[in-house]
Amino acid sequence: MTQAANADTDRVSTASSDHGTHHAPRGPVVRLLQALALVLVFAVLYFTAKLTPAFEGSFGVIAAIGFLLLAGMLAAELFEMVGLPHLTAYIVVGVVAGPYVLHLVDHETVIRLQAVNTLALALIALAGGAELRIDLLRPLVGSLSIATAIQCAIGTLGMAALFFACSGFLPFTQGLPFRALCGVALLWGVLAIVRSPSATLGILAQLRPEGPLARFSLAFVMSSDIVSAILLTLGMAVARPLIEPGAGFSFSDVGALGHEILGSITLGTTLGLLLALYLWLVSGQLLLVLIALGFGLTEGLRYLHFDPLLAFLIAGFVVANLSSQGDKLLRAIEQTGSLVFVVFFATAGAHLDLLLLQKLWPVALVLCGTRAAITWFAHRIGSRLANDPPIVRRWGWAPLVSQAGLALGMAAVIEHAFPGFGPGFRALAIATVAINEMAGPVLFKLALDRSGEVPKG
């Protein structure tokens, strides 16, 4: 690797898969104790819920957060034994404890916990922007530009067409007119090209590879966050007139869209400069600052009709590239997010409608398999046009399969914007993200092993 690439790999080595923490291998006794502790945690909350029917309100929310944190972390340790990511463990805990299985966390509590999503999305966007270092992107500008254009065009249109073809098997699209169905398919196409920075960073941190594939993977996945945020805004603007008959698309809509994108970039730049100044002058109480930004500023941006995801991505980018405070920001986000992300993914699992998912899993498998095939096909075309190194041509598609928090966050944004079909759309998104998050890291690790970029030992 070049010196800049080595610096980036060393920096991400402190990151963890799915925002967790890497550990030394655990012995069988420790694993057994963790399994018993997990069963005990479930048992305590189960009998508490049965003995105290009024286990609700603020006390119930606090108890649910504590339970999801403890159970999620224990489950993540156990899932490591079979090579599954932490995200899957958090979702499984939420599903089992949620209102559709054991009913340890009821519907009202799940709804109240949705506020955690606001903070989690802000942290994910800030971290994604902070990973975009100019010294990493500069030598790959040509290759990244071609790869991004090809992946966005073929991926969005291909997955939109596939979703349209599968819509007859989806309960939440039944009865939708042709125009509305095209709008929903477009939104799915945009969601399908979202990648997983957390999975990419986790594999790079574990293997510490050196070579063109590792450099391309890190640069593409991190930079695609900004592209995905912009495309989501564009996609929602185009889809709304198709889905809502009374909402026509006019030049005023184009102006509003430009205001949203440019305003988000401007405010994100300002926020990044202020955050860098704070980190340089004060540096303390970062937990409170991140919480205040995640909750307060997100609502303010929404009130002003700006995109919080894009604004926070730009803010992280500014801190990382226009100051020397990028590593400090990433450490603060990791310390804050290590707990927030557990509740975020567990709440997503608890929110999952299992009755609806019984009808969605076959479609989810088809969507995931075809998405991987389209990603491979688009990468082969883009890599040949960009004249990438042979290793990147052969394996550069592998890190693009994973999906995680950003995709779930965008699905939540779509659900909020379109409440008619939003819950079913998000349920399908959670199902596909779970599959992609399990398969993606395995494919990326295989690609790095086969490419010979993983140091021996």
- 75-95 tens-digit pLDDT: 888 887 876 767 778 888 888
149 pLDDT tier (thresholds 50, 70, 90): very high
Residue 2 lies in a domain: no
162 pLDDT above the threshold of 70: yes
d(CA 40, CA 102) in angstroms, rounded, equals: 14
How high is the pLDDT of residue 7?
39
* Residue, of 356 and 411, whose pLDDT is higher: 411
Handedness of CA 189, 236, 171, 112 (dihedral sign): positive
How high is the pLDDT of residue 345?
78
How high is the pLDDT of residue 73?
86
Tell which of 90, 115, 140 closes a domain: 115
15 pLDDT above the threshold of 50: no
Together in a domain, 69 and 101: yes
Q: What's the mean pLDDT when you consider all of the chain?
A: 80
**pLDDT per residue as tens digits for the range 251-299:** 555 666 677 778 888 989 999 999 899 888 886 777 778 878 877 788 7
How high is the pLDDT of residue 151?
92
340 exposure class (CB count in 10 Å sphere: 0-12, 13-18, 19+)? buried
Tell which of 115, 139, 162 closes a domain: 115
Lowest-confidence segment of 11-25, 57-71, 85-99 by average pLDDT: 11-25
CB-based contacts of 306: which residues, under 8 Å, 6+ apart? Answer: 260, 263, 264, 267
Together in a domain, 224 and 325: yes
187 pLDDT tier (thresholds 50, 70, 90): very high
d(CA 232, CA 261) in angstroms, rounded, equals: 11
21 pLDDT above the threshold of 50: no
Together in a domain, 91 and 131: no
Lowest-confidence segment of 59-63, 168-172, 194-198, 246-250 by average pLDDT: 246-250
Together in a domain, 108 and 44: yes
**For the residues 216-227, what does the mean pLDDT come to?**
81
Residue 347 lies in a domain: no
d(CA 269, CA 310) in angstroms, rounded, equals: 10
Question: What DSSP string runs through 19-43?
Answer: G----PPPPHHHHHHHHHHHHHHHH
Total domains present in the chain: 2
50 exposure class (CB count in 10 Å sphere: 0-12, 13-18, 19+)? exposed
d(CA 154, CA 151) in angstroms, rounded, equals: 6
Together in a domain, 200 and 336: yes
Handedness of CA 416, 419, 425, 427 (dihedral sign): positive
Residue 346 lies in a domain: no
Together in a domain, 181 and 37: no
Question: What DSSP string runs through 195-217?
Answer: --HHHHHHHHHHH---SHHHHHH
Residue 457 lies in a domain: no
Tell which of 115, 131, 149 closes a domain: 115
Q: Give the distance from CA 294 to its chain's centroid.
A: 16
pTM here is: 0.68
* Residue, of 136 and 100, whose pLDDT is higher: 100
**pLDDT per residue as tens digits for the range 164-181:** 999 888 888 888 899 999
Together in a domain, 242 and 269: yes
Together in a domain, 122 and 39: no
d(CA 71, CA 65) in angstroms, rounded, equals: 10
Together in a domain, 43 and 190: no
How high is the pLDDT of residue 58?
62
- If you average pLDDT over each of 112-121, 244-253, 378-387, which comes out highest? 378-387
User: Counting every residue, how long is the chain?
Assistant: 457
**For the residues 33-41, what does the mean pLDDT come to?**
86
Residue 234 lies in a domain: yes
Residue 379 lies in a domain: yes
Together in a domain, 102 and 138: no
Residue 1 lies in a domain: no
- CATH number for the domain harbouring residue 215: 1.20.1530.20
Together in a domain, 217 and 204: yes
How high is the pLDDT of residue 20?
41
Together in a domain, 13 and 80: yes
**For the residues 402-426, what does the mean pLDDT come to?**
85
Range of the domain at 315: 116-340+353-451
d(CA 297, CA 274) in angstroms, rounded, equals: 13
Residue 456 lies in a domain: no
* Residue, of 159 and 123, whose pLDDT is higher: 159
**For the residues 372-401, what does the mean pLDDT come to?**
93
